[in-house]
Amino acid sequence: MNLNKNNIRFYAVTDRKWTGKMTLLEQIEAALAGGVTCLQLREKNMDFDDFLEEAKEVKKICIKYNVPLIINDEPSVALKSGADGIHIGQDDMEISEVRKKVGKDFIIGVSAHNKSEAVLAERGGADYLGCGAVFGSSTKSNTNPISIETVSQICSAVSIPVVAIGGINKTNILRLSGTGVDGAAIISAIFSADDIKKECIELSELTLKLVEQKIK
């Protein structure tokens, strides 16, 4: 699946912290039914075999909704599960090494926290950028927030799609208007919701507003 800016508009990143009433697979299905346009499967504390089996099941759901599946950090899981792409951080493998592993048609996303990281990632062959943390993060304890101005600088410096991430929810998402972002990556506001599908329907409408304001 080729990446386009419509895919990147409403980007969900999983976190099993909020499983319990629902399994992660049930949560993912509800999120995609609510309008999520891209899904990143993130498992920091799962062994390879379990991660791979989970990714295969998640891919089936993504096929049902025609949504690209991005795997966090693990090229082998991404390839063997039939996923569409991989997302890596600044401290992970070099983009060129990842590209050798996954091939030219695979989506590669890279985290960027400033203009120089963004430019280097694009030169290195990234297909999109994750930019943050814009409003802090309840998922990562070692994350430093970046300013709205920095988000704008990153968007102006690159030609590939940019997705804002970090503490984004219904009350603050439109503060990103005018920055040039192509979408929002959302974690806790989705997966901690009592009604994930309903929350995603509302968030999807807000991401549309965000993108439409960029076009204007």
User: Taking Cα atoms as reference points, which of 184, 178, 173, 88 lies closest to residue 127?
Assistant: 88
Alpha-carbon distance of 84 to 98, in angstroms, equals 14
Our answer to whether residue 99 is catalytic in this structure is no
Our answer to whether residue 21 is catalytic in this structure is no
The catalytic residue among 9, 42, 59, 99 is: 42
Quick one: 214 exposed, middle or buried, by C-beta within 10 A (0-12, 13-18, 19+)? middle
Alpha-carbon distance of 33 to 37, in angstroms, equals 10
Our answer to whether residue 111 is catalytic in this structure is yes
The catalytic residue among 140, 175, 197, 214 is: 140
Alpha-carbon distance of 52 to 90, in angstroms, equals 23
Indicate the pairing of strand 10-13 with strand 128-132. unpaired
User: Taking Cα atoms as reference points, which of 175, 180, 177, 132 lies closest to residue 156?
Assistant: 180
The catalytic residue among 59, 81, 99, 111 is: 111
Longest dimension (CA), the chain: 46
Q: Do 17 and 47 meet the contact criterion of CB atoms below 8 Å apart?
A: no
User: Taking Cα atoms as reference points, which of 69, 125, 119 lies closest to residue 93?
Assistant: 125
Active site residues: 42, 111, 140
